C-alpha cells in the first residue's frame, strides 16, 4: 500500500523506535512477553496492536495502548492517531507511565527477591 513500509528485521531497535512515531504490532499468534511492545511504550510511542499483542501486559485500550481486532480498526485508529495530536500524545505519555509502574527493572527485581525470600522457609 502507498505510504506503508514493512521493515522486517532491524539492526537496532532503540534507533528504530526513536526514529518512528507509532508502533504497529499486528500479532496474530505467539506466547511470552512482547518485549518490543514494552520497549516502544517505554519510549512514549503509541502502540497499535491486536488482543494477542497486548495479552499479558495489563495495558488498557485507548488509555495506554490501542488494541484492534480488524484491518478496519487498525486503519481507523492509525488515522485517528495521526489526525488528533491530543490522542496521540495522551496514549504515548500514558504508555510511558504504565511501563514505569509495571515493568521497572528495580521494582520487578525487588518483587522477585521478596518472592524468593518468602519461599525459602
For position 31, which CATH number holds?
3.40.50.2000
Report pLDDT for 108.
Answer: 80
Contact of 43 with 13, CB cutoff 8 Å: no
Q: How many domains does the chain have?
A: 1
76: in domain: yes
* Residue 67 per-residue DSSP state: E
7: in domain: no
1: in domain: no
3: in domain: no
Residue 76 backbone phi and psi in degrees, to 5: -65, -45
2: in domain: no
pLDDT digits (tens, 9 = 90+) for 45-66: 999 999 999 998 999 999 999 9
Mean pLDDT of the region 85-104: 95
**pLDDT for residue 29 is more than 80:** no
5: in domain: no
**pLDDT for residue 1 is more than 80:** no
Report pLDDT for 121.
Answer: 63
Which domain, by its residues, includes 93?
A: 13-118
Whole-number average pLDDT of the chain: 90
pLDDT digits (tens, 9 = 90+) for 9-19: 889 988 999 99
Strand order in the sheet with 66-67: 23-25, 47-49, 66-67
Mean pLDDT of the region 25-53: 87
Which residue would you say has higher pLDDT here, 40 or 104? 40
4: in domain: no
Amino acid at each position: 500500500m502507498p505510504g506503508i513500509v514493512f521493515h522486517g528485521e532491524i539492526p537496532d531497535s532503540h534507533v528504530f523506535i526513536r526514529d518512528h512515531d507509532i508502533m504497529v504490532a499486528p500479532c496474530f499468534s505467539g506466547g511470552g512477553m512482547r518485549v518490543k511492545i514494552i520497549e516502544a511504550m517505554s519510549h512514549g510511542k503509541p502502540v497499535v496492536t491486536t488482543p494477542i499483542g497486548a495479552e499479558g501486559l495489563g495495558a488498557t485500550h485507548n488509555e495506554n495502548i490501542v488494541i484492534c481486532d480488524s484491518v478496519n480498526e487498525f486503519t481507523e485508529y492509525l488515522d485517528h492517531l495521526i489526525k488528533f495530536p491530543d490522542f496521540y500524545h495522551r496514549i504515548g505519555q500514558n504508555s510511558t507511565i504504565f511501563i514505569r509502574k509495571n515493568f521497572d527493572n528495580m521494582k520487578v527485581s525487588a518483587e522477585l527477591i521478596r518472592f524468593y525470600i518468602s519461599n525459602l522457609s
